[in-house]
Structure 1
Amino acid sequence: MERQENLVEQYFSLGLQQREILTFLRSLHNIDISLRTLKRILRKLNLRRRKNYTNIHQVIRFIEQKWIHLKCMQNGFVVTQNVVRELLKLLDPDGVEIRKRKRLRRRQYSSKGANFVWHMDSYDKLKRYGICINGCIDGFSTPFPHNSNIDFRMGAETKIKMLNSAQPQAGMV
């Protein structure tokens, strides 16, 4: 029984959910208990996810290094996402403001002229339906040298052929 409680405590501290704890106990340790028994063990060990919160000063010291709620949970801190969010506002107001605006800082580079730098990208959202949209854009101006919706399983050789076929269309030799 003590071994069982130690395993439950260990899996709980890893952040596993109750069903996951049951699965691990069953598959790795041949311990078959019901969900109700697991809840009883957790109550006996005073293990709760949302009631016994960690001291706020410990969380602040940790957040100064790691910024993620999940990391707090993985390191044994019991804290809500709202508390982490508010602490981040206090510790790094500029960073929070930048993330809040969701501003994308574009990289700057210089190009020698048209058709010197091309950017390729693929739209993968439709991949599960067998559709993959590939596009290529000139980095100097904005015309599309090439756009296709060919098979998503294509390799690098096919992509190079696609680029080569786009060169005459873009006025390149």
Structure 2
Amino acid sequence: MIDQLLKMADGPLRDLLANSDVPANPGDASAIEDTLASILQRKAQSGDLDALKEMFSGADTNPNSPVVNNLAGDVSEGLKSKLGIDGGQAMKIAMAALPMLMNFFNKKVNDAPQDNSDIMNSVIGALQGGGGSGQADILGSLLGGGKGGGGMDLGGLMNMGKGLFK
């Protein structure tokens, strides 16, 4: 599920990479999303929830926050492997992308009709092995829908979201 949520930020992430001094290629956004999704899933399953709590708290994330710094090493290692780039370039990409992604979702959480803690707990629960129809509720809330996702299924929400984040 986290990979689907991260795909919501694809357009803004591509824009960030294109308009920054970070040497990145068009495919790097997908590599960042895939790498971060894998890391967050692994952390959630091990009980390390700091990054998820920060990402869905609704509070601004400082680029120098401990959560960003802790994730940056793992993300840069993943990017080195996926993209075949050196550690310095991978770290620059991670340090540019992580605060942007955290704040992208914090804004979405604040704009959602559900309570911030409800969304955060739903995401954490889904990543720790829960899931089911609650995933559509989460995506519906983050896309501006009401509770229950307005009766849309996950595919319908993703299709709707594609037009919102270009």
Which TM-score band applies after superposition, normalised by the shorter structure? under 0.3
TM-score calculated relative to the size of structure 2: 0.21
The structure with more strand, counted as a fraction of residues = 1
Structure with the larger RCO, 1 or 2 (CA within 8 Å, 6+ apart): 2
TM-score calculated relative to the size of structure 1: 0.20
The structure with more helix, counted as a fraction of residues = 2
The structure whose Rg is larger is 1
